[in-house]
Amino acid sequence: MSRVKLPIGPQHPALKEPENFTITLDGERVVDVDIRIGYTHRGIEKLMESRTYTQNLYLVERICGICSYAHVVNFTQNVEEVLGIQISKRAEYIRTLFLELERLHSHFLWLGVAGHEIGFDTLFMYTWQDREIVQDLLEMISGNRVNYAMNTIGGVRRDVSEEHRKKVLEGMDYLEKRARYYKEVAINEKTILARAENVGILKPKDALKYSAVGPTVRASGITVDIRRDDPYASYTETPFDVITTDTCDVLGRVVVRVLEIFESIKIIRYLIEHLPAGEIVVKVPRKIPEGESISHTEAPRGEDFHYLRSNGTEKPERYKVRTPTLANLPAIGEMLKGTYLADVPIVVAAIDPCMGCMDRILLLKHGKEKPGEIIDGDRLRSYGIKWYAERGWKA
Amino acid sequence: MIKGLVKWARVKSPWILHMNCGSCNGCDIEILAALIPRLDVERFGVLLKGSPRHADVLVCTGPVTTQMKERLKRVYDQMPEPKFVVVVGQCGSSGGIYQGSYGVEGGIDTVIPVNAYIPGCPPRPDAIADGLIKLLASVDKGGKP
Amino acid sequence: MTTTEELILQVLRELPVQMKRDRRIFISVPKDDLLKTINILSSELNVQHLSTITARDTGSEIEILYHFLLKGVVITVRTACSRDDPTVDTIVNIFPGAVLYERELNDILGVVPKGHPDLKRLVLPDDWVGGYPLRKDWKPPQESEE
Per-residue pLDDT at A13: 32
Q: Higher pLDDT residue, A13 or C91?
A: C91
CATH no. for residue A87?
A: 1.10.645.10
The alpha carbon of residue C79 is apart from the nearest alpha carbon of chain A, in Å, by: 15
Give the H or E element holding residue C25.
Answer: strand C24-28
Q: What is the DSSP string of A102-136?
A: HHHHHHHHHHHHHHHHTT-HHHHHHHHHHHHHHHH
pLDDT tens per residue across span A203-218: 999 999 999 999 999 9
Average pLDDT over residues A82-90: 97
What ipTM was estimated for this complex?
0.94
Q: Higher pLDDT residue, A262 or B47?
A: A262
Q: Higher pLDDT residue, A274 or B99?
A: A274
- Asked whether residue A366 carries a pLDDT value surpassing 60, the answer given is no
Residue A307: name the closest of C56, C23, C87 by CA: C56
Please report residues of A whose CB lies closer than 8 A to that of B123.
none
Q: Is residue C118 part of a domain?
A: no
- Chain B's closest residue to A123, CA to CA, is B36
Query: Residue C95 phi/psi, 5° resolution?
Result: -125, 90
- Chain B's closest residue to C122, CA to CA, is B67
Question: Measured between alpha carbons, how far is C133 from B103 in angstroms, rounded to an integer?
Answer: 9
User: Do the Cβ atoms of A42 and B51 come within 8 Å?
Assistant: no
pLDDT above 70 covers what percent of chain A? 87
Average pLDDT over residues C89-112: 95
Question: Measured between alpha carbons, how far is C139 from A30 in angstroms, rounded to an integer?
Answer: 43
User: Do the Cβ atoms of B102 and C130 come within 8 Å?
Assistant: yes
Per-residue pLDDT at B1: 46
Q: Are B52 and B140 in contact (CB under 8 A)?
A: no
Give the H or E element holding residue A83.
Answer: helix A68-83
Residue A347: name the closest of A220, A200, A192, A249 by CA: A200
Please report residues of A whose CB lies closer than 8 A to that of C98.
211
Q: Higher pLDDT residue, A359 or A266?
A: A266
A351 and A293 in a common domain = no
Other CB atoms within a 10 A radius of the CB of residue C38 amount to 23
A53 and A7 in a common domain = no
Residue A241: name the closest of A223, A214, A220, A217 by CA: A223
pLDDT tens per residue across span A324-341: 988 998 998 889 988 898
A317 and A274 in a common domain = yes
Per-residue pLDDT at C16: 93
A149 and A7 in a common domain = no
Question: Measured between alpha carbons, how far is A244 from A224 in angstroms, rounded to an integer?
Answer: 9
Q: Is C68 on the interface with A (CB under 8 A)?
A: no
* pLDDT, averaged across chain A: 86
Q: Higher pLDDT residue, A50 or B67?
A: A50
Average pLDDT over residues A307-329: 94
Residue A37: name the closest of C95, C100, C66 by CA: C100
Per-residue pLDDT at B9: 57
- Chain A's closest residue to B48, CA to CA, is A378
Please state the domain count of chain A: 2
Other CB atoms within a 10 A radius of the CB of residue B41 amount to 20
Q: Are B83 and B56 in contact (CB under 8 A)?
A: yes
Q: Is residue C59 part of a domain?
A: yes
Nearest 10 degrees: Cα torsion A297, A214, A64, A352: -170
Average pLDDT over residues A110-139: 89
Query: Residue A319 phi/psi, 5° resolution?
Result: -130, 130
Sign of the alpha-carbon dihedral angle for C37, A35, B89, A118:
negative
User: Do the Cβ atoms of B33 and A62 come within 8 Å?
Assistant: no
Q: Is B77 on the interface with A (CB under 8 A)?
A: no
Between helices A68-83 and A53-60, what is the axis angle to 10°?
A: 160
Q: Which chains touch B (3 or more CB pairs under 8 A)?
A: A, C
Q: Are A322 and A211 in contact (CB under 8 A)?
A: no
A62 and A202 in a common domain = yes
Per-residue pLDDT at A210: 96
Q: Is C54 on the interface with A (CB under 8 A)?
A: yes
Give the H or E element holding residue A287.
Answer: none
CATH no. for residue C22?
A: 3.30.460.80
Beta strands in A38-162 (DSSP E): 151-152, 155-156
Question: Measured between alpha carbons, how far is B26 from A62 in angstroms, rounded to an integer?
Answer: 8
Q: Are B22 and A39 in contact (CB under 8 A)?
A: yes
The alpha carbon of residue C104 is apart from the nearest alpha carbon of chain B, in Å, by: 14
Per-residue pLDDT at A17: 35
- Chain B's closest residue to A18, CA to CA, is B67
**The last residue of a domain, from among A298, A325, A352:** A325
- Residue A64's pLDDT band, with cuts at 50, 70 and 90, is confident
**Residue C64 structural domain:** 3-85
- Chain A's closest residue to C54, CA to CA, is A320
- Residue A219's pLDDT band, with cuts at 50, 70 and 90, is very high
Average pLDDT over residues A63-72: 89
Of A38, A46, A224, the CB nearest to C133: A46
Size of interface B-C (CB pairs under 8 A): 8
Average pLDDT over residues A95-100: 98
Which of A50, A131, A146 to probe the B interface (max B CBs under 10 A)? A146
Q: Are B44 and B135 in contact (CB under 8 A)?
A: no
Domain assignments of chain B as residue spans, ordered by start: 15-140
Q: With H, G, I as helix, E, B as strand and everything else as coil, classify residue A214.
A: coil
Q: Higher pLDDT residue, B11 or A184?
A: A184
Residue B37: name the closest of A132, C81, A63 by CA: A132
User: Do the Cβ atoms of A327 and C96 come within 8 Å?
Assistant: no
Sequence-ordered list of residues with C-beta below 8 angstroms from that of C134, at least 6 positions apart, any chain: A45, A46, C55, C56, C57, C108, C109
Which of A224-233, A384-393, B1-10 has the highest average model confidence (pLDDT)? A224-233
pLDDT tens per residue across span B32-85: 888 666 666 666 666 666 677 888 888 888 888 887 888 889 889 989 988 999
Per-residue pLDDT at B131: 84
A349 and A226 in a common domain = no
Q: Is residue A331 part of a domain?
A: no
- Asked whether residue C144 carries a pLDDT value surpassing 50, the answer given is no
Name the pTM for this structure.
Answer: 0.90
Other CB atoms within a 10 A radius of the CB of residue B85 amount to 23
Give the H or E element holding residue C78.
Answer: strand C73-82
Average pLDDT over residues A357-363: 36
Q: Is residue A139 part of a domain?
A: yes
User: Do the Cβ atoms of A46 and C134 come within 8 Å?
Assistant: yes
A317 and A345 in a common domain = no
User: Do the Cβ atoms of B27 and A145 come within 8 Å?
Assistant: no
- Asked whether residue C146 carries a pLDDT value surpassing 60, the answer given is no
Per-residue pLDDT at A54: 94
Q: Is residue A205 part of a domain?
A: yes
Which of A19, A211, A307 to probe the C interface (max C CBs under 10 A)? A211
**The last residue of a domain, from among A301, A325, A349:** A325
Longest dimension (CA), chain B: 50
Which of B66, B102, B105, B112 to probe the C interface (max C CBs under 10 A)? B102
Please report residues of B whose CB lies closer than 8 A to that of A356.
20, 22-25, 28, 62
Sequence-ordered list of residues with C-beta below 8 angstroms from that of B132, at least 6 positions apart, any chain: B14, B41, B44, B46, B57, B59, B86
A135 and A15 in a common domain = no
Query: Residue A350 phi/psi, 5° resolution?
Result: -70, -15
pLDDT tens per residue across span C21-62: 999 999 999 999 999 999 999 999 999 999 999 999 999 999
- Asked whether residue A141 carries a pLDDT value surpassing 60, the answer given is yes
Q: Higher pLDDT residue, A90 or A326?
A: A90
Q: Is B102 on the interface with C (CB under 8 A)?
A: yes
Average pLDDT over residues A284-309: 96
**The last residue of a domain, from among A300, A325, A350:** A325
Between helices B26-33 and A121-142, what is the axis angle to 10°?
A: 120
Put the strands of the sheet holding A316-322 in their side by side order.
Answer: A290-299, A302-311, A316-322
pLDDT tens per residue across span B92-141: 998 888 888 888 888 999 999 999 999 999 999 989 888 877 887 777 66
Per-residue pLDDT at B140: 66
Radius of gyration of chain B (CA): 15
User: Do the Cβ atoms of A230 and C95 come within 8 Å?
Assistant: no
Residue A307: name the closest of A318, A289, A288, A294 by CA: A294
User: Do the Cβ atoms of B29 and A65 come within 8 Å?
Assistant: yes
Of B26, B70, B100, the CB nearest to A65: B26
- Asked whether residue A4 carries a pLDDT value surpassing 80, the answer given is no
A367-370 LR contacts (CB < 8 Å, sep 24+):
A367/A4, A368/A4, A368/A5
Q: What is the DSSP string of A375-386?
A: E-HHHHHHHHHH
The alpha carbon of residue B102 is apart from the nearest alpha carbon of chain C, in Å, by: 7
Query: Residue C36 phi/psi, 5° resolution?
Result: -60, -45
Q: Is C140 on the interface with B (CB under 8 A)?
A: yes
* pLDDT, averaged across chain C: 92
- Asked whether residue A257 carries a pLDDT value surpassing 90, the answer given is yes
Please state the domain count of chain C: 1
Average pLDDT over residues C89-114: 95
- Chain C's closest residue to A295, CA to CA, is C74
Per-residue pLDDT at A57: 94
- Asked whether residue A39 carries a pLDDT value surpassing 60, the answer given is yes
Please report residues of C whose CB lies closer than 8 A to that of A224.
49
Query: CATH number of the domain at B15-140, please?
Result: 3.40.50.12280
Of B30, B32, B101, the CB nearest to A47: B101
Which of C120, C121, C124 to probe the B interface (max B CBs under 10 A)? C124
A204 and A140 in a common domain = yes
Q: Are B21 and B63 in contact (CB under 8 A)?
A: yes
Q: Is residue A330 part of a domain?
A: no
Per-residue pLDDT at A7: 58
Question: Measured between alpha carbons, how far is C26 from B83 in angstroms, rounded to an integer?
Answer: 57
Query: Residue C12 phi/psi, 5° resolution?
Result: -100, 15
A351 and A297 in a common domain = no
Q: Are A354 and B25 in contact (CB under 8 A)?
A: yes
Peptide bond into B82 cis (omega under 30): yes
Q: Is residue A395 part of a domain?
A: no
Which of C48, C58, C64 to probe the A interface (max A CBs under 10 A)? C48
- Chain C's closest residue to A304, CA to CA, is C51
- Chain A's closest residue to C66, CA to CA, is A307
Beta strands in chain B (DSSP E): 15-20, 47-49, 57-61, 84-88, 116-118
**Residue A86 structural domain:** 44-325
